[in-house]
A and B are shown apart, each in its own frame.
Chain A
Amino acid sequence: MKKHGWVALMTGALLLTSCGEDAVVVDPLPEQSARPVIQNYAALTYANYTEAVKQAKAMQTVIDAFVASPSKERLEAARTAWLAARDSYGQSEAFRFYGGPIDNEDDGPEGQINAWPLDENYIDGAAGSNTVGIIADTVNYPSLTQGTLLEANERDSEVNISSGYHAIEFLLWGEDTSETGPGDRPFTDFVDGGTRPNADRRRQYLTLATRQLIEDLESVQVQWAPGQDNYARRFTAEAPKEAVLKILTGLGSLSGAELAGERMAVAYDNKDQEDEHSCFSDNTHQDLYNNALGIQNVYLGAYGSVSGQGLSTLVAAVNPALDQKMKARLKASLDAIRAIPAPFDQAILGADSSPGRQKVKAAIDALRAQTDTLVEVATALGITLNLE
């Protein structure tokens, strides 16, 4: 179909000469199809971070009420709000791993927002020890400020985590020593003259960590806001190949090394709840699901009220079968993660033949297959995806 060839040529296709014949190769990322996908990605990223900020602020309202007057019910409410806040953030992790606003090398706040695993004793003595941790240490930390928390974060050790979701999680739940459920810190830890000393500093710490989390999330959100001179403006102006490479690097890194590897395979191998993502609240199964959902959101181009063209559109144009395969892989991963019996820290225990471990293994395998398919997707779009 010679005529088609010329049309393709006029719309930016590449003319390659091979073996002395003219062969027309279709550009898999033509500007007019790729640009809307890139713009839609920026829009859904902004929507996702906006939701994360909104949920964190809702959590702050409840935490402030708890701190003002601690009670069992208010602690429960704070925990519920934390769990709700995790959903949107978990999905936003699909925007990591390419040096964007969340984790760029100079000032990406990811390590302040979501670092884990954290050493409980660094913040507040675990196992009833009232003498260790920043909260008890009035000598080195005479006054607590947001700056104190940031200064201390990752100091001297990658597990010395003092800020972010998991610091808040630890303050709300405490250590998880239960075989059936999450941690169960008594609300009286926050009451003067209650179960533990330094209740005032514990309340203050919780307030500061929450405030800092919101500031950090907002700092990322603003970089994706439409119509501003910010990262989103630069990102949406990039050459299609550059922008799509970033998008796919984020998806592939989360799907493989991070989710299948760091977040699942390590815990599967160690059988150690210290290696599960949200170990105090037993919310790990939900974290995993949200990460996988975040990948699907980007591929399909939809989050919340944003619904536009995703990578799927571009793949379908060059290889409809591959697009179907990718969608099936995404669904299979989500289903496999859903099938893991909660809590995750119990599912990883026992013999390899135990139902829980088999389900975790199946989810790891599904994510690996999904990662391989993402690499195929990149190749189909003319991109070499080197995943670390």
Chain B
Amino acid sequence: MRRALITLCCLLACGGEREEEGPEPGEELPGGATTVHDTTRNAFTLVARNLQGERRDAFFVGNALFNRNWVTAPASTEGLDGLGPTFNAASCAACHFKDGRGKPPTEPGEKAQALLFRLSIPGEDAYGGPLEDPVYGGQLQPLAILGVPAEGWVELGRTERPGQYADGTPWSLEVPQYTLRDLAFGPPHPQLMMSPRVAPVMVGLGLLEAIPEARLEALADPEDRDGDGISGRVNHVWDVEHRATRVGRFGWKANKPSLQHQNAGAFRGDLGITSDLFPTHDCPPAQEACRAAPNGGEPELDARKLEQVTFYTRMLAVPARREPNEPEVLEGRALFREAGCASCHVPRHETGTMADAPELSGQVIFPYTDLLLHDMGPDLADGRPDFEATGSEWRTPPLWGIGLVKTVNRHTRFLHDGRARSLEEAILWHGGEAERAREHFRHLSAPERAALLRFLESL
């Protein structure tokens, strides 16, 4: 338990001693001028600090829509009917509770709420995207309106997989197994592929959208020319709004090009609400009652409401760092970089100019992501391609706000399907291109591991 004493001023980096830098300018305000100061359960729910006047009102309007429960059509609330026929939830906020992270079911027999399953079969659709399952469509919907059969649900099984640190400290990781239950329309396609996706934290999405495409292309290293074992790739995806292929940046596999597209896709897939971008329901041919159910308008979500929700999702503020100057946090910061975590979880970006969002333009931000695809190895693979993303590639998720998840959502389940029960387990699951960084972590001493975790908590 020998720990080098760190002093914060001008230590010479020699003989294995680590030179610790203080945070760089602005690092304590990861969302730039949008950053808010809140460490309560509402930390992810706040409006960008620099949003003013009527634009601030627009945020609250979008927030109301985000929280609203949609109802079965026809209903007296004409603007808000058309739920389903099949769906995962009745409101956005059901899965994005307090704009935070969803969690997988943890009790036997519990049905997933904020964890959904994308479905596809081998091949590509006309736009290079996943080919939907002919029986159950592109996503499993475990709920349905009255008189329409729900498609089925997914039961989670678990086994433990032990491992240990270089110093002998043991760990155990929870390996999930997913089993389809109560399928209403018989067996799916024999080559069905399923991808679990948990609801991510909503803060800072507008800032991520404002990172110039050129920056992402520049960060990409598909051939690993620099030989660091890390080959970030851009996912190029079909943009229904602009009828063109564009850089993907949202979703667990960077399969959505913009928040507008992402939101409209979620309205259709998760709530069963149609929009101009996605005018049809996810009712495959075999699902007659689903196809015959009354709708809540064509489309059910008018263009203005979609704009308002999208504005809301762009303007959710990133909370400020906690204790950025604590010595242990600074040690963790240095270790994070030394281990190579920052190769993919790129700390700093500058946003470009967004003509319609001056609040998000020209900001120095610290999201800790490159928004690129990386092969994370077989253990994390879902085996399901998504546009150019392979079955073992995932987009680097941003880390800002991650230390507040336990406060906001009262859980610490991480990764794309929430399998990790802590930040520590999330690191230990890293494989593939991230294997080297994980091994670096595995060889750290207990106090060093604690420092790195404390750094993550401070984000």
- A interface with B by C-beta (< 8 Å): 99, 105, 117, 119, 121-122, 126-127, 131, 156-160, 175, 177, 257, 261-262, 265-266, 269-270, 272, 274-275, 386, 388
Residue in chain B with minimal CB distance to A273: B77
Cβ of A275: which chain B residues have Cβ within 8 Å of it? 64
**Do A158 and B64 form a contact, CB below 8 Å, given A131-B146, A272-B77, A274-B77?**
no
- Least Cβ–Cβ distance between A150 and chain B, in angstroms: 16
The reply to whether A119 and B69 form a contact with Cβ atoms under 8 Å apart is yes
Which residues of the other chain, B, contact A270 by a CB distance below 8 angstroms?
61, 64-65, 79
User: A257 to B69, alpha carbons, bound, how many Å?
Assistant: 22
A126 vs chain B, min Cβ distance (A)? 8
> Cα distance A386–B68 when bound, in Å?
29
Q: Is B434 an interface residue (CB 8 A)?
A: no
Q: Per-residue CB proximity of B41-63 to A under 8 Å, as 1/0?
A: 10000110100000011101101
Given A105-B40, A272-B77: A121 and B69 within 8 A (CB)? yes
Residues of chain B with a CB closer than 8 A to A159's CB: 67-69, 91, 93
A-B contact pairs, 22 of them (CB 8 A): A105-B40, A117-B68, A119-B71, A122-B69, A126-B71, A131-B146, A156-B97, A157-B89, A157-B93, A158-B93, A159-B69, A257-B60, A261-B57, A261-B60, A262-B64, A269-B58, A269-B61, A272-B77, A272-B79, A274-B77, A386-B37, A388-B46
Set A156, A274, A386: member contacting B113, Cβ < 8 A: A156
B40 close to A157 (CB less than 8 A)? no
Task: Decide if B94 is an interface residue (CB 8 Å cutoff).
Answer: yes
Whether the Cβ atoms of A261 and B93 lie closer than 8 Å is no
Q: In the assembled complex, how far is the CB of residue A323 from the closest CB belonging to chain B, in whole angstroms?
A: 26
Chain A residue contacts of B41, Cβ below 8 A: 105
Q: Which residue of B lies closest to A267 (CB)?
A: B64
In the complex, chain A residues whose CB is within 8 Å of the CB of B65: 270
Interchain CB contact under 8 A, A127 and B93: no
Distance (whole angstroms) from the CB of A128 to the closest CB of chain B: 11
Contacts of B40 in A (CB 8 A): 99, 105
B76 and A177: CB pair below 8 A?
Answer: yes
Q: B68–A266 contact, CB under 8 A?
A: no
Interface residues of B toward A: which range? 35 or more
A156–B94 CB distance below 8 A:
yes
Residue from A157, A159, A160, A257 whose CB has the most chain B CB atoms within 10 Å: A157
Q: How far, in whole Å, are A119 and B94 apart by their CA atoms in the complex?
A: 13
- B76:A157 contact, CB within 8 angstroms: no
- Which residues 79-104 of B sit at the A interface, judged by CB distance below 8 A? 79-80, 89-91, 93-94, 97-98
Whether B36 sits at the interface, judged by CB under 8 Å, is yes
Q: For the complex, is B38 an interface residue (Cβ under 8 Å from A)?
A: yes
B286 close to A (CB within 8 Å): no
Q: Output the residue of B36, B57, B77, B79 with the most chain A CB within 10 A.
A: B57
Whether A265 contacts B68 in the complex (CB less than 8 A), given A156-B113, A175-B76, comes out as no
What's the nearest-Cβ distance from chain B to residue A151, in Å?
15
Closest chain A residue to B308, Cβ basis = A269
Decide if B36 touches A157 in the complex (CB within 8 Å).
no
**Residue B6 at the A interface, CB < 8 A?**
no
Beta-carbon nearest neighbor of B47 in chain A: A388
B68 nearest CB across to chain A (Å): 6
Residue among B69, B89, B91 with the most chain A CB within 10 A? B69
- What residues of chain A lie closer than 8 Å to B60, measured between beta carbons? 257, 261-262, 265-266
Pairwise interchain contact A388-B36, C-beta atoms closer than 8 A: yes
Distance in Å from the Cβ of B30 to the closest Cβ of chain A?
Answer: 17
- CB-defined contacts of B58 to chain A, threshold 8 Å: 269
Within the complex, the shortest CB–CB distance from B74 to chain A, in Å, comes to 9
Interchain nearest-CB distance for B223 vs A (Å): 46
Report A-chain residues with C-beta under 8 Å of the C-beta of B47. Answer: 257, 388
Q: Is the CB of A265 within 8 A of B61?
A: yes
- Residue of A119, A262, A266 ringed by the most chain B CB atoms within 10 A: A266
B54 to chain A, nearest CB (A): 8
- Could you tell me if A265 and B57 are in contact, using CB atoms closer than 8 angstroms? yes
CB distance from B48 to the nearest CB of A (A): 10
B75 at the A/B interface (Cβ < 8 Å)? Answer: yes
- Which residue in A158, A177, A257, A269 is a CB contact (below 8 Å) of B97? A158
Most chain A CB within 10 A, of B38, B71, B89, B308, is at B71
Cβ distance A295 to chain B, nearest Cβ, rounded Å: 19
Residues of chain A with a CB closer than 8 A to B146's CB:
131
